[in-house]
Structure formats: C-alpha cells, structure tokens
Amino acid sequence: MEITQKEYDRITKIKDNDDAFEETVKLLDPYLEKYKVYYKFRNSEELDLDIFKKETKIIFGLLHYVFSTVDIDESDEEDKSKFEMLTYHTKYVYSKIDKVDINEQDKEFHDSLLYIVNYFEQSSKDMEEQYNTLSSRCDMLENFVSDVNINLKIQEIAKRIKDGTVSKEELVDDKKWCQTILKNYHKKEEVMVIIQEFHSLEKNDYKYLYNEESNKDTQKKYIRYMQIDNIMYIMLMIENKLKNN
C-alpha cells in the first residue's frame, strides 16, 4: 500500500475510528521500516527529502486525524497522560514537517519523531510478548485440559489481535466470551486467586510449579490456574486494543 494523498483522502473519509486507525497502521508499518535508519541514527544522507516530507505529512496527518476523534477515559490518569503525550508529538511533527530543515537536525522535531516511533515499536513488542506467552502456555495445556477448544480459541483471539485483523465488535464479543468461560468453566474462588495475583507485583509461575509437582490433583489445579491466567491475559490484550483504537 503506497503512502499517497489518495490514501490519505480515502482513510479520512472512513467514519468508523477503529477502521480508520487499522488502515492508518497498514501505512505506518512500512513507513517506519523505510525510515528507521533516519529515526534511530539521524542519518539523512540517503533521504529523498521531498518524498520523506510528503510521506511524513500524510502519515502524521492520519495519526492526528485518528487521535483527534478518540474518546479517552478521563478517570484513568496514566492512560490520559500517555495519550496526551502521543497527541502532542504527533501534532508537533504534522505542523512542523513542511518548514523544518531536516539537515539541520532540529532536536525538538527529531525527539517528537522518535517518541512516536518508540511508542509504536514498544506496542508491537508488548503484543508479541503477550502472544508468545499465551502460545507457550496453550501448547502445554492442550495435553491436559479436556476442553481443548478453549485453548484453541484463546490462541485464535491472540493471533487476530497481534495481526490487527480484528474489529471493535469482534473484540467486544471476544471479551464477553472470556467472561463467560471464567464464569461457567472455573470455580469462583480459583478465578479470584488469579485475579488477585494478576494485579499484584508477585505472580506464581504455575507452569514451573506444575513441572515440580508430583500430586496429580495439585497439577490439575495448576492447569486450571494457567488457563484462567491465559484468559486474563487475553482480556488485557482486548482492553489495550480497545483503548488504542
């Protein structure tokens, strides 16, 4: 997908903010890859400055458009602060790109560019880490849990979130599915154990505990704990995706 004014016009006509963001990310990923040497090392020697400015104007214009139509939870101060920083740096680049002299190494401009790059790179790494953790656990659980379909569903949801091939409506449905599984397939007291651990600084490694345990009943309990924890991870991924959209 080329970064063109035509694509900008098409995406800004999309009424659904989630869909507009997904289409913007499809342009953002190749853009970041194309210019990563400049972002990371401030090396502008091989830049076609006219094309770089044109494509940067389009990408940051799209990000600015998408962010300006996002509803933020005002009660979550941390998320609100992060979003305000993201919006500030996006708007700064968008407003300065036409006038800035790339060869002059404008520090504030470059810092804003780098902030956006690092933000999306870290988001991608976090998603990859969560997906790999879930996949590793599910591979193990499939050998023991009677309802294998639950683990397959967990992996399927995680992959769709990681690949970005999921709509807001699907995310809402996936969250409801997770809540139903926790309610109907697991004991309330066991769910509460994992919820409390999930929000604490210290968490048990139930995969390790399972391998160290010889009692079969205790092993089965650890397996249930792992599945509950997997579902909690999925719900966290869903919440993060919904917030970012």
Query: Average pLDDT by consecutive 10-residue portion of the chain (245 residues)?
Result: 86 84 85 79 75 91 84 69 85 88 78 85 72 62 58 83 83 91 87 82 81 86 86 86 71
pLDDT at position 174, please? 92
Q: Do 207 and 235 belong to one domain?
A: yes
- Give the integer Cα–Cα distance in Å for 195 and 161: 22
Chain center to CA of 84: 18
pLDDT at position 142, please? 53
Q: Do 226 and 132 belong to one domain?
A: yes
pLDDT at position 134, please? 64
Residue 114 covered by a domain:
no
pLDDT at position 137, please? 59
pLDDT at position 146, please? 47
Residue 117 covered by a domain:
no
pLDDT at position 133, please? 66
pLDDT at position 177, please? 92
Q: Do 96 and 174 belong to one domain?
A: no
Tell whether the torsion through CA atoms of 104, 67, 76 and 237 is positive or negative. negative
Per the structure, the count of domains in the chain is: 2
Q: Do 204 and 236 belong to one domain?
A: yes
Alpha-carbon distances, residue 176 vs 2, 20, 41, 208 (angstroms): 37, 24, 45, 30
Domain span at 151: 125-244
Neighbours of 140 (CB within 10 A): 16
Residue 187 covered by a domain:
yes
Q: Which of 70, 105, 140 is the C-terminal boundary of a domain?
A: 105
What is the model's pTM? 0.54
